[in-house]
Chains A and B, each alone.
Chain A
Amino acid sequence: MELTRRGFLKLSGAVGASSALGLNFKPVNAYAAELSKSNRIKSSKQYTTICAYCSCGCGLICSVDNLTGKIFNIEGDPENPINEGALCAKGAGFFDLTEANKHRLTKVRYRAPYSDKWEEKDWDWAFSRIARLVKDTRDKDFVTTNAQGRLVNRTESIAHLGSSNIDNEECWLISQSVRAMGLVYIDHQARV
C-alpha cells in the first residue's frame, strides 16, 4: 500500500506548534487539555455480530466502552447485505438482551428436591453434581441389546432438548457429546 504514503507535500512537525503558519493554537490546546484532564475522552471498540431473534440473520455492530467493558450501543451493520444497516423493532431493542437488562441470569441456581426456593451454587459443584446424576441414571437404565438381541447401546432415560438459539459450534458439540453418551431422545425447537 506504499502508493498512498506519497502525500504530495509532507509537512514535518506535530500539530499545535503554531509558530510557522501563525495559526493560534492556544485555545485548541487548552480545550484539548481540558477534555483529557476531565477524562471526557472515552474509547470504544466495535464488534460485528448477528441478531438472535428471527432467522433473517441481520448484521449488528456492538459498541463496547473500553473503560466499563459494557455495550453502550447496538446498531445495524451497514455492510451486511441482508439488512443494509436497518433493523426491525425487536432488533432495535436488542440492547435489552445485554446485561443492561437486570433480569439476566448471572448466578448458577440450584433447586434441591422438594425445596421451594433457589440456591446459588458455583460451577464446579454444579458440574460434578450433574456428572454424578448423568452417570448414575445412564448406568442404571443403559440398554445394551434390544428385544431381538441386537446391539443398540442406548440411553433411553436421559433426553436432550438442545436449542436453535445457540451457535453452530455449540450445537455440534452438543450433538457429538449426546451421541457419545448414547442418548436417543434428542430434539430441539426447530421441530416445534
Chain B
Amino acid sequence: MSGKILNMVRVTDPIERIAHWLLAGSCLFCLFTGLGLMFRSWDFIPALLGGLYATKWMHIFSGVVFAFTLIYAFMMWKKDCAFEPDDAKWIAQGGGYLWKTNNLPPVYKYNAGQKLFFWFVVVFGVLIVLSGLVIWNPLVFPTAVARWSYALHALSALVIGSFFVVHLYLGTIGNPGTFQAMTTGWCSKAWCETHCPRWLAEREKDPSES
C-alpha cells in the first residue's frame, strides 16, 4: 500500500487503532459505569444498564479489558513516547496552544503533551487497575490496603478522567484533521508537518518503513 495517495500520510496502522479504541472504549465505559457507582444521584446510569449490580459487573469487566489493552498499548507506544530533552522546551512554551511561539522544537511522532498524556494514563492506569483488583475482593488484603485502594481508585479516576477530556478536545476539534488518524489512519501531509515533522522527514527518506 503506497503511502502517497493524494498527498496523505499513513500515521497509524490498524493494530494501533484497534488497540486505541479498545483502550479508549473500555476506559470510557469504566468511567461511565464508575460514575454511576460513585454518584447515587446519577441513577439514570444503573437504570440504563439494568441495575447497580449489573453496573458493578460491567465496570469490572471493562476494567479487565482496560487492564490488558493498557499493557498492549504501553508496549506499543512506549518507544515513541519516550521523553526527549526537547520535550522540556516544548512544554515550557505550552506546545504553542496557549500563546504564539515560533521556536517550538520539532516533534518526532508525538509531542510532549501527548507523551505526558500517555505516561499519565499509563501510570494512573496501572494504579487504577491495581486498586481496582484490590477493590474487587478487598477481604483478601489487609484492611489498610483495602481502604487506601478505594481512595487511590477514585484519585486515579479523577486524573484519567481529566486527562481524557483534554485528549478528547485536542484529538478532535482542538486539532482539526487529527481525528482521522484514529479512524482511517491517514492524515494530510500538512497535518504531519505541523504535528510530527521529524517523523515525516524520516519517513520520506526511507519509505520502506510502513
The answer to A–B direct touch (Cβ < 8 A) is no
